[in-house]
A and B are shown apart, each in its own frame.
Chain A
Amino acid sequence: MLEKYIRERLKTKDILLMTHIVVGYPSLDASMEIVEQMVEAGVDLMELQIPFSEPMADGPVILKANQKSLEAGITVKQCLEFAHKAASRFDIPFLFMTYYNIFYKYGVQSFIEDIAKIGIKGAIIPDLPPEEGADYAELMKNNDLCPIYIFSPTTTDARMKYLSSWGQGFIYCMARKGVTGKETQFSDDLNEYIGRCRTNTDLPIAVGFGVKDKADMDYLRGKADIAVIGSQTIRIVDEKGVAAVGDFIRGL
C-alpha cells in the first residue's frame, strides 16, 4: 500500500517529492506532458486535482487553473480517463485532490469504486473533515484507497491524534495558515509545528503550502518525509512553458 511504498522509497532517499497538477490546465494534452516530465525527473508521487468551480481552500494560482480548465470544458469523466491513462503509463502512486461535491454528485460509493478500478491510490479532500465523511473513509479503506487527512498549525495535539486515527498512507501537514500558493516562512515556528505533527502520528508526513525551491526542500530534509510542491510548478508552466517543468524538478 501507499505507506509501504513511501517507507521503501525513504530507504534510498532522504526526502520524497509530491507534485500537483490541475487536470486540464493548460490543456489535457499539456497536463499529460507535465506528468511525464515530472515522473521522468524523479517525482515520487502526484496529486491530480479535479477542477471545481468553488475551490475555497486554493489561492490565486490554483484557483485560476481550476477556472481555465473548467472554461475549456473539462468534465469529471475526462479527469477519470486522464488519471486512468497516467496511472497505467507511469509507475508512481497518483492521488486525486478535489472538493467533496465532486464525489458527492457522482455518488460517493460509485466514485470510490471507479477510482479504485483505474489505479488511483488515495484522495485528499480539503473540505471533508472526518466528522462529515465517515462513510467516505470507510468506503475508501474497503477499496484499498487511502483517505489522506490534513494537519494545520491550528490543529491541537488531541485533534491530530484523532485525524491520524482516520488517515492512511500519510498525513498532509499544511506549513502555514492561508490558501495555497502564498509565501511560507521556513522558520523555527515551523520546525516546532512539524515536530508536533511527527509526535502525533505514526504515519509518514508530507509538508506543503508555499514550498517552491531547493532552499525550501533543503530545509525540509530530515524533518518531513515528503515535500509537496503545488502552485510553483503551475507558475513555471505559465512563465516558461511545459518543457521547463522537468529541469525545475531536477533542480530541487
Chain B
Amino acid sequence: MSQDKECNDRGYYGEFGGSFIPEILVATFDELKRHFREIKDDPAFWQTYSDLMSNYSCRPTPLTFAENLTRHFGGAKIYIKREDLNHTGAHKLNNVMGQGLLVKRMGKTRVIAETGAGQHGVATATMAAKFGFECTIYMGEVDVKRQRPNVFWMEQMGATVVSVTDGTRILKDAINEAFRDWVTNMDNTHYVLGTACGPHPFPEMVSFFQSIIGKEARQQILKLEGKLPTRVFACVGGGSNAMGLFQGFPDKSVECVGVEAAGHGLHTGQHASRLCSPDATVGVAQGYKTYFLQNDDGQMRETHSIAAGLDYIGVSPILSKMHQKGEARFESATDQEVIDAVKLTMRQEGIIPALESAHAFAGAFREAAELSSDDIIIINQSGRGDKDIFTVADAFGDPKWRDFIKEKALDYK
C-alpha cells in the first residue's frame, strides 16, 4: 500500500474533503488551522503529547500475539494492537488528548463533542476533567439508550450529556447539534470532533493524533518479528482508528484492510457501509465531501449497525481517496459475524473487543486461514467491549443476565 496523506491547503484528498462551513465559523477554522500547523511542525509538541500519553494513558499499548486464535485458524500469525488498554478503553483518547493540548494553547475554556458509542464522549469528559474545561456531550437518543454505562461515566466526570432527539437520533444528529452549539459559542468553545471526518483540518488533525497507533505497531512488529505484516485490519466508522493504524504502514508490501458495518446485510439497506455498498454516493454534508449513504435527492438515509460507533452516514475523505485509488481494501461484516467474532475472541484469548473493533476481527478471521504461517496480520482492537454488556448480553440471549436485570430493577422500585 502506498498513501499520500498530505493534503493541499484546502484539505482535499483527491476529490474528497474540503471545508463546507457556514460563514460564522470561518474565523474559528482559520484560528484552528493556524494552531494545528504550528504544533504539527513542532517536534517538541509530539514529545509533549507522547509523554502525556505514556504517563496518563497506557502508551505504548501492547501488540499482543494471539497464539490461540493463530492456532485456531492455522494460517497467518495474528497480532492484536491493544487500544482497549488505552485509558478510557479505546483509541478515542489519543485524538482527544491531542486536541485538549490544542485547546489549552488556543486559550479556550469549554469543549463540546458528539458521541455514538459513548467512547469519544467519555474520552472528552475525561480530558475536560483533567484539563479543567467545561464539557458538553451531544449523543443521539438511540445511542443514549444502547450505551447507558458510558452516559453514566460522562456525567460522573462532570460533563453535561445532551440527548439529541432530532433526525435519526444517532451519531450524525449528534454532530449537527454539536455544530449548532459551536456556531453560537465558538469564542470560548472548541468542538472536539471524534473521528477523521468533518471540515478541514479535522480529518488531517484527527489522523495526525491517531498516527501514534500505527507508529507504535510498526516498531513493535519489527522488533517482535523482524518484518512487516502482510495485512493490517481496522474497523471503519468515521475512520480514525483505521487511519491511525494505516499510517504506520505506508509500504507497498502491506495491505490495509478497513472493515465497515454490514448491519443486517448489505442487500437489506440496513447497514452503515459507505465504501462497499452501492447505496453510498459522493455528496457534501456535515462540512465535507465524501461517500454518503444518501438517496437520489441527497437526503441522508437511515443507517444501522449493532455497533453505535460505526452507525454513521459518512466516512473519512482520506479513506474515500484511498478506496478510489486502490490504496486500501474495504470489506464489511454483519452484526451476526461480529457477535460470533466477539464470542470466539473471548473464548480463545480472554479478550473482549468492543462491537466496533469486532468488525476488524470478523474481517481478519475470514482471511486468516488462507494465509500461510509466514504471513503476519495485525488487528486493531480499537476498544474494549465491556461498555457493550447490554447489547452483547441481548445478542447472546443470556438468561442469567436477564434475570439479574429484572431483579436489579425491582431494587429500584
Using a CB–CB cutoff of 8 Å, the interface residues on chain A facing chain B are 52-57, 59, 63-64, 67, 70, 75-76, 99-102, 104-106, 126-129, 131-132, 149-156, 159, 163, 174, 177-179, 182
Asked whether, in the complex, the Cβ of A177 is within 8 Å of the Cβ of B300, the reply is no
* Contact of B116 with A by CB under 8 A: no
Known pairs A127-B22, A128-B20, A177-B184; list 8 more (Cβ under 8 Å).
Answer: A53-B167, A54-B285, A101-B294, A102-B298, A104-B298, A129-B26, A154-B26, A163-B23
Asked whether, in the complex, the Cβ of A127 is within 8 Å of the Cβ of B184, the reply is no
Q: A56-B180, A101-B294, A105-B298 are in contact. Are A126 and B283 (CB under 8 A)?
A: no
Asked whether, in the complex, the Cβ of B21 is within 8 Å of the Cβ of A129, the reply is yes
Asked whether, in the complex, the Cβ of A101 is within 8 Å of the Cβ of B27, the reply is no
Q: How far is the CB of B187 from chain A (nearest CB, A)?
A: 8
Count of chain A to chain B residue pairs whose CB atoms are closer than 8 Å in the complex: 109
* Contact of B186 with A by CB under 8 A: yes
The residue in chain B whose Cβ has the minimal distance to the Cβ of A104 is B284
Asked whether, in the complex, the Cβ of A131 is within 8 Å of the Cβ of B19, the reply is yes
Residues in A neighbouring B300, C-beta threshold 8 A: 53-54
Asked whether, in the complex, the Cβ of A52 is within 8 Å of the Cβ of B299, the reply is yes
Asked whether, in the complex, the Cβ of A57 is within 8 Å of the Cβ of B22, the reply is yes
- Give Cα A126–Cα B23 distance, bound, in whole angstroms: 7
Asked whether, in the complex, the Cβ of B23 is within 8 Å of the Cβ of A152, the reply is yes
* Contact of B10 with A by CB under 8 A: yes
Residues in A neighbouring B57, C-beta threshold 8 A: none
Using a CB–CB cutoff of 8 Å, the interface residues on chain B facing chain A are 10, 18-28, 166-167, 172, 176, 179-180, 183-186, 281, 283-287, 292, 294, 296-300
- Give Cα A128–Cα B284 distance, bound, in whole angstroms: 10
Q: How far is the CB of A252 from chain B (nearest CB, A)?
A: 26
Asked whether, in the complex, the Cβ of A178 is within 8 Å of the Cβ of B166, the reply is no
Q: How far is the CB of A186 from chain B (nearest CB, A)?
A: 18
- Give Cα A159–Cα B23 distance, bound, in whole angstroms: 10
Residues in B neighbouring A174, C-beta threshold 8 A: 23-24
Residues in A neighbouring B284, C-beta threshold 8 A: 99-101, 104, 127
Dominant secondary structure at the A interface: loop
Residues in A neighbouring B185, C-beta threshold 8 A: 177
- Give Cα A59–Cα B294 distance, bound, in whole angstroms: 23
Residues in A neighbouring B283, C-beta threshold 8 A: 101, 104-105
Q: Considering residues B166, B167, B180, B298, which has the most beta carbons from chain A within 10 angstroms of its beta carbon?
A: B298
Q: How far is the CB of A230 from chain B (nearest CB, A)?
A: 15
Residues in B neighbouring A76, C-beta threshold 8 A: 297-298
Residues in B neighbouring A70, C-beta threshold 8 A: 299
Residues in A neighbouring B287, C-beta threshold 8 A: 56, 127
Asked whether, in the complex, the Cβ of B24 is within 8 Å of the Cβ of A54, the reply is no
Partner of B297, one of A100, A105, A150, A178: A105
- Give Cα A148–Cα B299 distance, bound, in whole angstroms: 23
The residue in chain B whose Cβ has the minimal distance to the Cβ of A179 is B180
Asked whether, in the complex, the Cβ of B10 is within 8 Å of the Cβ of A131, the reply is yes
Asked whether, in the complex, the Cβ of A177 is within 8 Å of the Cβ of B186, the reply is yes
Partner of A56, one of B184, B281, B286: B286
- Give Cα A155–Cα B292 distance, bound, in whole angstroms: 30
Residues in A neighbouring B26, C-beta threshold 8 A: 129, 152, 154-155, 159
Asked whether, in the complex, the Cβ of A127 is within 8 Å of the Cβ of B24, the reply is no
The residue in chain B whose Cβ has the minimal distance to the Cβ of A98 is B298
- Give Cα A129–Cα B200 distance, bound, in whole angstroms: 13
Q: How far is the CB of A49 from chain B (nearest CB, A)?
A: 14
Q: How far is the CB of B280 from chain A (nearest CB, A)?
A: 12
Asked whether, in the complex, the Cβ of B176 is within 8 Å of the Cβ of A54, the reply is yes
Residues in B neighbouring A57, C-beta threshold 8 A: 22, 24, 183
- Give Cα A236–Cα B26 distance, bound, in whole angstroms: 33
- Give Cα A104–Cα B18 distance, bound, in whole angstroms: 14
Residues in B neighbouring A177, C-beta threshold 8 A: 24, 183-186
Q: Considering residues B23, B24, B25, B287, which has the most beta carbons from chain A within 10 angstroms of its beta carbon?
A: B23
Q: How far is the CB of A209 from chain B (nearest CB, A)?
A: 10
Q: How far is the CB of A78 from chain B (nearest CB, A)?
A: 10
- Give Cα A205–Cα B24 distance, bound, in whole angstroms: 17
Q: A104-B298, A127-B20, A178-B184 are in contact. Are A63 and B166 (CB under 8 A)?
A: yes
- Give Cα A63–Cα B164 distance, bound, in whole angstroms: 13
Residues in A neighbouring B184, C-beta threshold 8 A: 177-179, 182
The residue in chain A whose Cβ has the minimal distance to the Cβ of B29 is A129
Q: How far is the CB of A157 from chain B (nearest CB, A)?
A: 12
Q: How far is the CB of A9 from chain B (nearest CB, A)?
A: 26
- Give Cα A17–Cα B18 distance, bound, in whole angstroms: 35
Q: Considering residues A101, A104, A163, which has the most beta carbons from chain B within 10 angstroms of its beta carbon?
A: A101
- Give Cα A167–Cα B294 distance, bound, in whole angstroms: 30
Asked whether, in the complex, the Cβ of A56 is within 8 Å of the Cβ of B22, the reply is yes
- Give Cα A178–Cα B22 distance, bound, in whole angstroms: 10
Residues in A neighbouring B298, C-beta threshold 8 A: 52, 76, 101-102, 104-106
- Give Cα A174–Cα B20 distance, bound, in whole angstroms: 18
Residues in B neighbouring A128, C-beta threshold 8 A: 20
A–B Cβ pairs within 8 angstroms, 8 of them: A57-B183, A101-B283, A106-B297, A106-B298, A129-B23, A152-B23, A154-B27, A182-B184
